[in-house]
Structure 1
Amino acid sequence: MVIQKQEFYKKGIYYTVRSANGKDAKELSELRVQIDGETENLDRERGEAYIDPSGFEHIIREDSANRRSLFLVAVAEGRIVGFSRCQGSDLTRVSHKVEFGVCVSRDYWGYGIGTNLLKESISWADSSGIKKITLSVLETNDRAIQLYKKFGFEVEGLLKKDKWLSDGKYYDTVVMGRFHE
């Protein structure tokens, strides 16, 4: 699905949130590798599960044509600084829900970019007849967990000792969901 571009301003930075397009593929491929190396909050380490530009072109094309999927980018200072994706399915038993994921470059944390990617995704889902948004988040990512709760997500469960991080310890993954009547 494709949404209308939205503009935001916070702490002296203007940025837009818009649907991804094929021209974004190369930049998204590079940004994903960068962001994966900036935090342990994501599933991957830098370079793992690499998606090349043609892979991103395929994902963007598929998501743009699918009414149950949404791929958004945040653009600040002339470059993509974050992105989110809601991935749905046409399978009847799960067609009412999408899975949400988000990445924002560390240099742009604190500007509301993740919040606005989430808000736009929720708005799209609610207006598109999507009943449930699910996500998973590392137990130590308190900022994200509080943000998700603020937007109506509830903890649905824990995946115990689900991630092994660089400190040599195992951490739980929190599974959250938001249901819209």
Structure 2
Amino acid sequence: MSDNKDAPPSFAMKMSLSGIRLRFSSVQQISTGDLNSMSNNADDLLLADFRYKYEYDISRIPGAIWFDYEETLEDNVNKLLNLVRDKQNTFNGTLNVVAYCALGFRSCQLIEKFQEKLLESDMGLYGHCKCYNLEGSIFKWANEGKPLVSSNGSPTVFVHPFNKVWGKLLDDKFHKS
């Protein structure tokens, strides 16, 4: 798959991302290009896929760990906190925690609550994590032709469009439900 980084995002995508940034102003966004570069050093990266299982089963960004959107947000935040704590036990440095969903709203919810939990936590992890939402999430990632894998780990270009409205932000050639 080749990167389609020269193709500008649609107006609808730009407006949607602007709305997400406005709604979740406390959540730092990371570009698809920066995440793609960061993926080369998986030791300092924890990549969280925060979608429904049927979305995750079609495709995911390589190395992503699934967080079940049907579980409570609190349960998912605690799962992420435990994973970060476990990873910190084997990795000495700053851990980059990046979440994504279809477009970025759900993953911003996860990161926003996770950051709050880090502040409240007495585990000493706050200064050792950088938390991000993948701007445009898997839709933007796929639209740019960045690598995806299917449930069996083989390369794919397909993404679940989430629903008819938001799926319009995903190029039609990548739709699979």
TM-score (norm 2): 0.33
Highest RCO, 1 vs 2 (Cα 8 Å, sep ≥ 6): 2
TM-score (norm 1): 0.32
Structure (1/2) with the larger strand percentage: 1
Structure (1/2) with the larger helix percentage: 2
